Structure 1
Amino acid sequence: MSAMNTSDKTSVAVNTATDDRLSPLLFVEGLTVRYGDFHALKDVSLSLAPYGTHAVIGPNGAGKSTLFNAISGFVKPTAGRVVFSGTDVTAWRPDRLARSGLARSFQISAIFPDLSVEDNLRMALGRHADKASLMSSRRAIGLGEEAARLLSETGLDLRRKERAADLSYGQKRLLELVTTLLLDPRLLMLDEPMAGLAREDIPEVTSLIAKAAGRCSVLLVEHNLHVVERLAQEVTVLAGGCLLSRGTYGEVASDPRVREAYIGGSASD
């Protein structure tokens, strides 16, 4: 778990012009998920500022996915609480959390493969439109400056008329992130966004996430530690469902407990 040269870090534009940064956007306290006698997650706490990136890493079975599921409403915690934007949302369903500004991206790219790149963006902009209504009224849903800018920054503007199914896997991941950002989330949860990407696609996806962290808070589960070091201002390390270490990447990378947890294993979940 060697640290990279700090000069290689991706620059993250963080908005400091608001007093909202003085209080956390997300506060997780004593979160526990138990299945019978098995603790998938035990007494885990963390907090996220309104901007920037917080990464969660750990060996197999660490509880990373369980933590993500509990925060985003897919798993009901046995104990503890989740506070989002000052409101206790522990018992909220995923759809209600999504409407409040929490957006989650899964390991498998979630796009409409039979629609064009443009129409995938229109679906995001339409939000509540279904595919049938989109296809009958898509001319009325313009892309707007923000969508056009994101298409240009990711290079997807060159393929905007093509079916999403015909994109490379890396381009599909970029498209998914672009459509997610068009929802204007306050908290963006990314579950292993680099999973399955070719080496040449990783820098583009990393760059887009870094830019996203300048406009919202990003909670990232990622097994690629080079990416974690580039992106995260704070890192939480889980092992066996418990909090093992927390700090900057350099601090957790030099923690003997963290180094021991990774001996002979990987950082995937």
Structure 2
Amino acid sequence: EVVLNGRLQDFRVVGSALSPEFVFATRSAVPLPDDRNFVVLWAGEDAVASAFDMKGAFNDVAMTIAPGSSVRHVLDELDRLLAPYGGTGAYDRGDQPSHRFLEDELAEQETLSIFMPSVFFGIAAFLLNVVIGRMVEAQRGQIASLKALGFANGTIALHYFKLVTAIALLGSAVGLVLGCWFAVGVVGSYRAFFRFPSLDARFEPWLLVAATLVSVVAANLAAATSVYRIAVLPPAEAMRPATPPALQTFAWLQTIGSRVIPLQ
């Protein structure tokens, strides 16, 4: 049952269709689709004309432009032809509310897909740098002993890089599982508003591999400074506890002060 021009009409649905201007089917005053109060129907011309008392007339037309045609030229011609009949102005698909809303939504998702992972990668890299830095400082004596026994800097650094890689791979596995689950939920929420013929969550293998590689690279870059700082220390210096930052500043001031020559 549908209200047409103030009258209740019975319709029998025989199929479904999709049109570009109604992928996001809503009225201008309603921000979200509401199937109970707004529906797009394709019906026989005679039935619609009788219901709206518009025999031989129309108030909306959608056209397909041939490939290679000038959109601006077609719009100008339509305005010229329809101006005597009360035409309010032709516009292309980019200005249709449904298409515009869909394009804006996809652009927003693209921005979030770049910005949000970058933020989380930055936070994770900072935390991993702090944790690895403290771990390396706590194992300063063991590292010095290994270097005194002949272990190369690269061997010691590789040990910590392997640890960081294992952490990154574990985190990537958990993140991929949660990400796939979240993607299915997001696509499911869009299915209620956008009338796509097919809307399914797809997970490209290359994307999963790329996400894992980025995680591993970001983790190793985060730990690189801490590992490099301890790996380049001579064994004798590495065996001593690290000098607190306050004492380092005091020693630097003493060095500067010893170089100052008082003026008489």
Instruction: Give me the TM-score of the superposition, normalised by structure 2.
Output: 0.20
TM value normalised by structure 1: 0.20
Larger strand percent: 1
Higher relative contact order (CA 8 A, sep 6+): 1
Q: Which has the higher helix share?
A: 2
